[in-house]
């Protein structure tokens, strides 16, 4: 006869407890990895958006410094357009109605509306120009993108003086 009291092994309850602990550990590690990957993706997109905003401000500064004809398209009155950045000093910007700009496919700073923007991969960039005084314009570059968590924006502002 067999003596069952000396047998060793795992009971069904021990197997269920061990499996549950294993599943919890694997689930926690999976969640941590997914959370880290999402944060890394967000940080990458945020850095790219900030870089695009800086680039936008630098492009506007370059257009202001060179002041070449044909680098700006802005209709300030029906049928009257500017083609140089220096012409913008005489324009009174009434935000939020008429201060929106974007770079068109030719790299020309173009006046538009709040719905106009330059698309760069999965980002949209818009330049806002506002009056600070007769000699100063406030330039704000706004870059918008969307991801798993919704819509985000990166916004940089500088002040340009009349040359």
CA distance 43 to 12: 47
Determine the Cα angle at 28 with ends 22 and 31, to 5°: 140
What pLDDT does residue 7 have? 64
What pLDDT does residue 5 have? 61
| 134 CB-near residues (< 8 Å, 6+ apart) | 89, 162
118-120 and 109-111 strand pairing: unpaired
Neighbouring-strand partners of residue 72 = 109
56 near 103, Cβ under 8 Å?
Answer: yes
pTM for this entry: 0.79
CA distance 103 to 116: 10
**HEC-encoded secondary structure of the chain:** CCCHHHCCCCCHHHHHHHHHHHHHHHHHHHHHHHHHHHHHHHHHHHHHHHHHHHHHHHHHHHHHHHCCCCCEEEEEECCEEECCHHHHHHCCCCCCCCCEEEECCCCCEEECCCCCCEEECCEEEEEEEEECCCCEEEEEEEEEEEECCEEEEEEEEEEEECC
22 near 29, Cβ under 8 Å?
Answer: no
118-120 and 123-131 strand pairing: antiparallel
pLDDT string in tens for the chain (163-residue length): 555 566 676 788 888 999 999 999 999 999 999 889 888 999 999 999 999 999 999 999 999 999 998 999 988 777 788 889 998 888 888 776 678 999 998 999 998 888 889 999 899 999 999 988 889 999 999 999 998 889 999 999 999 999 8
């Amino acid at each position: 006869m067999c003596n069952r009291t000396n047998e060793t092994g795992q009971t069904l309850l021990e197997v269920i407890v061990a499996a549950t602990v294993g599943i919890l550990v694997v689930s926690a590690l999976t969640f941590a990895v997914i959370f880290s990957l999402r944060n890394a993706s967000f940080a990458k997109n945020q850095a790219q958006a900030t870089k695009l905003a800086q680039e936008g401000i630098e492009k506007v500064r370059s257009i202001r410094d060179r002041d070449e004809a044909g680098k700006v398209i802005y209709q300030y009155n029906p049928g009257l357009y500017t083609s140089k950045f220096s012409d913008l000093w005489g324009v009174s910007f009434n935000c939020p109605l008429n201060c929106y700009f974007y770079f068109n496919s030719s790299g020309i700073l173009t006046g538009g509306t709040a719905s106009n923007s330059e698309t760069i991969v999965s980002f949209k960039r818009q330049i806002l120009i506002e009056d600070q005084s007769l000699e100063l314009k406030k330039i704000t570059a706004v870059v918008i993108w969307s991801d798993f968590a919704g819509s985000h924006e990166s916004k940089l502002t500088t002040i340009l003086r009349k040359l």
